Amino acid sequence: MAGLHKSELTNPVIKWIDTRMPVFTMMQKEYGTFPTPKNFNYFWNFGALAMINLMIMIVTGIFLAMNYQPNTAMAFDSVQRIMRDVNFGWLLRYVHQNGASMFFIVVYIHIFRGLYYGSYKYPRELLWMIGVVLLILMMATAFMGYVLPWGQMSYWGATVITNLFSAFPIVGEPIVTWLWGGFSVDNPTLNRFFSLHYLLPFVIVGVTFLHVAALHITGSNNPLGIDVKSPQDTLPFHPYYTIKDSVGMCVYLMIFAALVFFAPNLLGDPNNFIPANPLQTPADIVPEWYFLPFYAILRSVPNKLGGVCMMFGSLLVLFVLPWLDTSPVRSARFRPIYRQLIWLWVLSAVALGVVGAHPPSGIWVAIGRVATAYYFLHFLVILPVLGKLERPLPLPESISRPVIGGGGGPMPSGATAKPMEKA
C-alpha cells in the first residue's frame, strides 16, 4: 500500500487532504461528473427523496429521544410533554410521525418505478435485493417506532405483530416470549424496542450506502430500460440531476409541510391518544396505513400459519423477482401486455390496502382474497410465463435516438449535436 493520491483539485487545503484521503475526488466522481442517463423522468427523484427523508427522520428522532422516556409508566406522558412543554416539541414529533408516512409514500413510488421500468433485471439484481432488505428494515423500524408513544394502538399493534411469530409450530411460543422479555408486551419490550428503533436507522444508513455503491457499479436504469451505449447518452449528475432532484424535493417538502402543519393527525389513529391498557383491546384495531396491504393478506388466509407465511411471503417474493420475470426487456414501455398487467398488480395492492382498513366481514373478505391471489399470481405465474409469450416492441437503438428515424422527447440542445467532454 503505497502512493499518495494525485489530486487534481486546486484549493491547497482541500488538495492536501485529498492527496491523503481522496474523499473529494470520490465525491466529484460519484456525485459530480457521474455519468447518468440523460432521459430520466421525475420517477428518478424518489431515491434522493428517500435519502432526504431518512436524514429528516434521524435528525428529528435524535432530538425526540432527548425528551422521550422508554418506560411504561412514563412513555405516554413523556410524549404528551413533548407535545405541550418542550420547545417546538410538537413540530419535531409531527415531522417525525408524518415523516414515517412520507417515507413509505416515497419508497413505495420508488419501488413502483423499479417494477415499471424493470430496474430489478440484469445487471441490477443485487441492487434490487439490497433495496428489499432496506424495505424490510424500514418496516421493522416503523413498527417499533409506532410502539413508543405507548397508546392503545401502540400496545395492541405490538401485541398482534409479535404474536405473528407464535404461528410457527414448536419454536413459535419461545420466540414470542423472547421478543417480549416476559409473558406479555411490557416494560422490557418497550425498552428493547426503543433501543432497536434508535439502532436500525443507522443500519439503514449503512445498507443505503451499499445500495448506492451497487448502483454506482451498474449505473442507473432509465425510462427506456436500455443500456447506456456512449457518452452521448449521459449527462453529468451535477448540475443536471442535482437540479432535477431539487425540483422534486421542493414539491415533496411542500406536501410534507402541508401534512405536518394542516393535517398532522390525518394518517394517525385516534385510539393512540388513549394510554395503553393491557386489559382492553380497542374495538377496531388497524395498523398504520403503510402496513394495511400486508395486514389484509394476513387476514385473507383462513389459517393462522398460512396467513403469516403469505404475509412474509408477499415481501420475500420480491427477493426472487429478478429470476421470476423471464423477459429480457426492462421497460414496460416496450412490453405491451406487462404494461397493463403491472397496473392490475398496483390495483390489487391498493385494494388490499382498502380491505385492510375495513373489518374482515362481508364483501371485504372476498375482495381481499381475490386481491391476495392476484398479488401472488402476478409474481409467481404471470411474470414467468409472460416473458416467453409477450412480443416486445422494437427497442430504440440508443438513448440518444429513442425512436428510429425521429427525435425523442425534449433533450438539452447541443447534448446530441456534439460530443460532451467528460470522464
| Residues with active-site annotation | 216, 220, 244-245, 288
Which of 86, 212, 274, 285 binds other proteins (CB under 8 A)? It is: 86
Q: Which is nearer to other proteins, 87 or 361 (CB)?
A: 87
Residues 139-168 close enough to bind other proteins by CB under 8 A: none
Residue 131 to residue 322: CA distance in whole angstroms: 13
Q: Which is nearer to other proteins, 38 or 299 (CB)?
A: 38
CB of 236 to other proteins, least distance (A): 8
Phi and psi for 289 in degrees, rounded to 5? -55, -35
18 close to 25: Cβ distance less than 8 angstroms: yes
Q: Which is nearer to other proteins, 86 or 133 (CB)?
A: 86
Q: Which is nearer to other proteins, 246 or 340 (CB)?
A: 246
What track of x and - describes contact with other proteins for positions 324 through 363 (by CB under 8 A)? ----------------------------------------
> With the CA atoms of 55, 146, 111 and 380 taken in that order, what torsion angle do they form, in degrees rounded to the nearest 10?
150
Which of 15, 29, 81, 339 binds other proteins (CB under 8 A)? It is: 81
CB of 60 to other proteins, least distance (A): 8
CB of 183 to other proteins, least distance (A): 35
Is 410 a binder of other proteins (CB under 8 A)? no
Is 414 a binder of other proteins (CB under 8 A)? yes
Residues 36-65 close enough to bind other proteins by CB under 8 A: 59-60, 63
Residue 150 to residue 273: CA distance in whole angstroms: 9
Is 423 a binder of other proteins (CB under 8 A)? no
Q: Which is nearer to other proteins, 51 or 370 (CB)?
A: 51
233 close to 400: Cβ distance less than 8 angstroms: yes
Residue 284 to residue 64: CA distance in whole angstroms: 29
53 close to 102: Cβ distance less than 8 angstroms: yes
Count of residues that interact with other proteins, criterion CB under 8 A: 18
- Residue 406 three-state SS: strand
> For residue 235, which of 19, 379, 2, 423 has the smallest C-alpha distance?
423
Look at phi and psi of residue 195 and say left if phi exceeds 0, alpha if psi is from -120 to 50, else beta: alpha
> For residue 165, which of 181, 176, 180, 177 has the smallest C-alpha distance?
176
Cα-to-chain-centroid distance, residue 283 = 31
Residues 234-263 close enough to bind other proteins by CB under 8 A: 236, 239
Is 75 a binder of other proteins (CB under 8 A)? no
Q: Which residues contact 303 (CB under 8 A, 6 or more apart)?
A: none
> For residue 208, which of 142, 145, 131 has the smallest C-alpha distance?
131
Residue 201 to residue 126: CA distance in whole angstroms: 21
Is 226 a binder of other proteins (CB under 8 A)? no
Which of 7, 19, 67, 69 binds other proteins (CB under 8 A)? It is: 67
CB of 92 to other proteins, least distance (A): 6
Stretch that binds other proteins, among 82-90, 112-120, 315-323, 341-349 (CB under 8 A): 82-90
Q: Which residues contact 135 (CB under 8 A, 6 or more apart)?
A: 107, 111, 315, 318
CB of 81 to other proteins, least distance (A): 6
Residue 345 to residue 371: CA distance in whole angstroms: 9
Q: Which is nearer to other proteins, 81 or 401 (CB)?
A: 81
Q: Which is nearer to other proteins, 92 or 153 (CB)?
A: 92
Q: What's the one-letter identity of residue 389?
A: L
Q: For the CA atoms of the chain, what is the radius of gyration?
A: 24
Residues 87-126 close enough to bind other proteins by CB under 8 A: 87-89, 91-92
Is 8 a binder of other proteins (CB under 8 A)? no
H/E stretch holding 160: helix 152-163
Which of 6, 84, 388, 391 binds other proteins (CB under 8 A)? It is: 84
Residue 373 to residue 371: CA distance in whole angstroms: 5
CB of 235 to other proteins, least distance (A): 10
Is 34 a binder of other proteins (CB under 8 A)? no
Q: What's the one-letter identity of residue 284?
A: D
Q: Which is nearer to other proteins, 302 or 419 (CB)?
A: 419
Residue 69 to residue 73: CA distance in whole angstroms: 9
Stretch that binds other proteins, among 18-26, 37-45, 84-92, 285-293 (CB under 8 A): 84-92
Name the site residues for other proteins (rule: CB under 8 A).
59-60, 63, 66-67, 81, 84-89, 91-92, 236, 239, 414, 421
